[in-house]
Amino acid sequence: MVAKAIRGDRSPAALRGDARGERDGRVRARILAIAACQEGMPRCIAARLYGMSRNVLRIWVDRYNAEGLTGLRDRPRAGRRPRITPAQGARLRERVLAGADLARDGVVAFRLVDIHRIAGEEFDIEASFTTIWREMKRQGLSWLCPRPQNPRADDAAQEDFKKNFGARIKEIATAHPEASRIEVWFQDEARIGQKGTLTRVWAKTASRPRAVRDERYNWLYIFGAICPHEDKAAALIMPAVNTHAMQAHLQAISQQVAADAHAAVVLDRAGWHTTARLRLPHNITLLPLPPRSPELNPQENVWAYLRKTKLANRTYETIDALMDDCCHAWNALVDEPGRIRSIGSFPWIPLAQNL
C-alpha cells in the first residue's frame, strides 16, 4: 500500500525546531516521527523509533495533514457519564444533612448502607457503595462522632455569649486599669478513675479488637485550666470536687498569671464555681458560661485529647498509680510547645493583645 503524502508547508528542520520547543513529550514524539518520514525514513521504522504503531502514525499523519501542528495534540475526552449528576449529588447531600428519622428511615443515624439505599429509592441513583462514599466526600461530608449536647441547652444564649465575649473581656479590662492586658483562661474538672475509658485503635477490618478496662470505681479529679493565647496551663489533682478544691485551683491559676496581667477565668456554673464562699485572688475575675454549654469551653478539648492519647486503654492497681499517670499526662501536655494553643483556640475567642 502506498503511504499517504505528508503536507510540505513545513520542512523537516522546521518541524524539529517545533519539537524542541514542545513541552508535551507525546506531541514532541509525533512531530519528530513526521519529520523523519519527510526525510525518507520508512514509516514502520519511524513509528517504532518514536514509540507507536504504524497504524497510529498513519492517524497522526492524517491529523497533521488536516490541521497542522494543532492536530497532533490530544483532544479532550468526554469521559464516562457520571453515575451521580451534580444535581443528584446536591439533593442527596441535603437529604443526608437533614438527618435520619427513626420512623421514616428505620435508623437514628445514617450509615453508608442507608445512604446507598436512599440514593436508589429516592433519587434513582444506581451506584456502588464506593461511588456513594466518594460522592459524600465530594460533597464535603464525613462520618464523624458528634459532640454531646444537653437537650435543654439554649442555642440563642450560646450565640449571644460568643458574640459579646470580646465586650465582656473589655469590661473586665476597664474594671482593672492596673493590668496592662487580660489573660483569658478556661477552667473545668475531669473525673479520671480506675474503671478507665477506651479509645479507638487501628485493627483488621471487620474485627473486634479488645482493650483492657478495669471494673473498680475509685476516682480522682483533675482541676485543669488553660490560657490558649499564652500557651500555658495550671492544674491540681484532687480526691473530690468541692469549694476547698476550687479555692486551691484558683490560687494555682493566680500564680500562673503574668505580673502585669489580669485573668478572666471562663467556667461553667457548677455549685463550687459560683458559691459566695470562694475568695477570688486579686488578679482573677470569673466569667460564667451560659447554662449547659460545655461545648463553649476549650478545656473540654483538653480532656478529650488526654483521654485519647494518654489515659485510655489502661488499668491502675492503686490510686497512687492513677495519680502518677494523670500527672504525667498533664505535664506532657504542658511541655509540648503550641499544643495548648492548638487545642484551645476557638475562632470566637479574641486574642488578648487585641482587646
pLDDT in tens, 34-45: 999 999 999 999
Residue 177 CB neighbour total at 10 angstroms:
8
Q: How many H-runs (helices) and E-runs (strands) does the chain carry? A: 15, 5
The answer to whether 268 and 289 are in contact (CB under 8 A) is yes
The answer to whether 52 and 31 are in contact (CB under 8 A) is no
pTM above 0.75, yes or no: no
pLDDT in tens, 122-151: 999 999 999 999 999 999 998 887 777 778
Give Cβ neighbours of residue 30 (< 8 Å, ≥ 6 apart): 50, 52, 60, 64, 72
pLDDT at 354: 47
Which residue matches cell numbers 513526521? 34
pLDDT at 198: 59
Give Cβ neighbours of residue 247 (< 8 Å, ≥ 6 apart): 278, 279
Which residue matches cell numbers 499544643? 339
Could you tell me which CATH number the domain at 157-354 has? 3.30.420.10
How many angstroms separate the CA atoms of 344 and 339, rounded?
Answer: 8
E strands present in 167-306 = 181-193, 219-227, 232-238, 261-267, 284-288
